Amino acid sequence: MNIVLGVGGGIAAYKSAELVRLLIERGHSVQVVMTAGAQEFVRPLTFAALTGRKVVTALFSTNSESTLSSAIEHIGVAQENDLLVVSPATADLLAKFAHGLAEDFLTTMYLAFTGPVVLAPAMNSNMWLHAATQSNLDTLRRRGHRIVDPEEGQLACGMVGPGRLAAPEEIAKAVDAEIGRRRDLDGETVLITAGPTQEPLDPVRYISNRSSGKMGTRWPKRRRRAAPRSCSFPDRCTLRRRAAARSSRYTPRARCATRCSKICNRPVSSSRRRPSRISICRRCPRRR
């Protein structure tokens, strides 16, 4: 698998060299992208020697013979790689990723990248525990990014607490876990029925149930790798509200035929049958 490794500007940048070695041992092809701050701690030549590939250090090439391909290199790198790993991910990078700021090669490439993302934060304990950083992490988690939480211990600044970059072995395991996720439904259109139905007995009465629809909303959110927190459908999901299972052309079977859905999932109690004959008790006025 082709992996692009983003190296942020932190003292833990030197550990990324060991991470590169572990990823290459697993058979991956690794390309390194370094921020300006990362180059203050580790030279690009180190990663070039380990990967045997060019290390990207700037958004625009300083070569006088630059071509169009070098001007849009961040797009090419984003399209050529299957997984993005950022280690160490500084508080600055987390904030830029969360808010969509693009001012260097790494942050610009992040916006153009459509594959899975693994982030390994590393920073001072107070910076890690700050409400702004935690809010940014929550935003990135909701996007489906895998966060490798930092370890607790002695930091370079002398403090003791959370914020130390996770061991390269743990980051490599997180990469393996992300790669191992099944993606067999990519490109498929899925039809999901959720919530209660109301099967009419007559113009006044109906048979229903107390289904909340939560299971139906969890399914697409789990598919989108977003943690369900409310009974609402995520983006890119079309919601059609119908009371009865036999509501005109929006029955599950008809919907599948009209939109070419290959998968029809019914996680909750949508009535598949409606009564063909209604029994009326002897005391009912309608029998008189």
Active site residue ranges: 157
3-state DSSP assignment of residue 99: helix
Angle in degrees, 0-180, between the axes of helices 105-112 and 91-99, rounded to the nearest 10: 40
* Short-list 111, 80, 93, CA closest to 3: 80
Calpha distance 203→156 (Å, rounded) = 74
Placement of tokens 């370890």 in the chain: 151
Torsion of CA 242, 247, 249, 252, to 10 degrees: 70
| Distances 277 to 197, 200, 247, 282 between C-alpha atoms, Å | 18, 12, 19, 16
